[in-house]
Amino acid sequence: MSCDVTLKRHGLKLTPQRRLILDIIHDSGAGITGTEILEHVYDKMRGVNKSTIYRTLGLLEKLECIFKTEVAGEFIYHHPEEGQHYHLVCRKCGKSMDFDATLLLPVERQIEKKYDFQIDNRHVVISGLCSSCKGNQ
């Protein structure tokens, strides 16, 4: 379902600010930080308040028009059309790398079977140590 329809269903409008933020996130491809979103909005639409941007991000996330993942202490916003994102993040240097989603399928099945719990696996971040940092311990 499109975000426009989702907003209407909740009695909300697709304002120019909301449209711009959605476009920025969609055009980013693999995700974008809140700071980067602020910069893009300020470049295109002067006078928009920082709190308005963050409230809009919160609303769009709540309505599942966008998804937010924390990577290395920073929030990354993704458009739902990007599909699933699986990241390994080094807790020491902050390096992030994608990993194959199929690796988690056995774990997801076990959790669902044992706990009757379905994992929201659109964005998964696993922290640990990269090979460089692991070698420097």
Ramachandran angles phi, psi of 32, nearest 5°: -150, 145
Given the structure tokens 């290395």, which residue do they identify?
A: 72
Given the structure tokens 């696996």, which residue do they identify?
A: 121
| Residue 84 banded pLDDT, cuts 50, 70, 90 | low
CATH 1.10.10.10 in the chain is located at 3-81
Convert the pLDDT of each residue in 1-46 to its tens digit. 588 888 999 999 999 999 999 999 888 876 788 999 999 999 999 8
Our measurement of the distance from residue 122's CA atom to the centroid of its chain's CA atoms, rounded to an integer in Å, reads 9
pTM above 0.85, yes or no: no
User: What fold, for 3-81?
Assistant: Arc Repressor Mutant, subunit A (1.10.10)
CATH 3.30.1490.190 in the chain is located at 84-135
Q: What pLDDT, on the 0 to 100 scale, is given for residue 20?
A: 94
Q: CB-based contacts of 137: which residues, under 8 Å, 6+ apart?
A: 129
**pLDDT at 114 > cutoff 80:** yes
User: What fold, for 84-135?
Assistant: Dna Ligase; domain 1 (3.30.1490)
